[in-house]
Amino acid sequence: MPSLQTALPPELANNALRLYRECLRRAKYVGSQQHNTPLVVEMVRNQFKRDMHETDPEKIQQMKDNAARGLINHMLFETEKMSGRKFTQSV
């Protein structure tokens, strides 16, 4: 199965630190919209801290894919909200 990270720029997808920073930026944005920034940012930080000592390459790739999926979903959501068009289909 191909990696979801191919939908992100390679300089972001291949670097865990940059991926973490982008997740924090998105968390701050979402938190500011929902008026719960500290909670959302703390959730992202805890998730990354919990997994920072992982050494299994497959698990690391899966975690990166999960982070990329979250970023992509948020970008789609914001694009749909701004354009008024639906890009995803509900099941």
pLDDT of residue 3: 54
Q: Are 12 and 23 in contact (CB under 8 A)?
A: no
Q: What global pTM score does this model have? A: 0.67
In a domain, 67, yes or no: yes
In a domain, 33, yes or no: yes
Start-end of H helices in 1-91? 10-13, 16-34, 37-51, 57-83
In a domain, 88, yes or no: no
In a domain, 85, yes or no: no
In a domain, 12, yes or no: yes
Containing domain of residue 18, as a range?
8-79
pLDDT of residue 42: 93
Question: Based on the structure, what is the number of domains in the chain?
Answer: 1
pLDDT of residue 38: 93
End-to-end CA distance of the chain: 22
In a domain, 36, yes or no: yes
Weakly modelled stretches of the chain, pLDDT under 50 = 1
In a domain, 3, yes or no: no
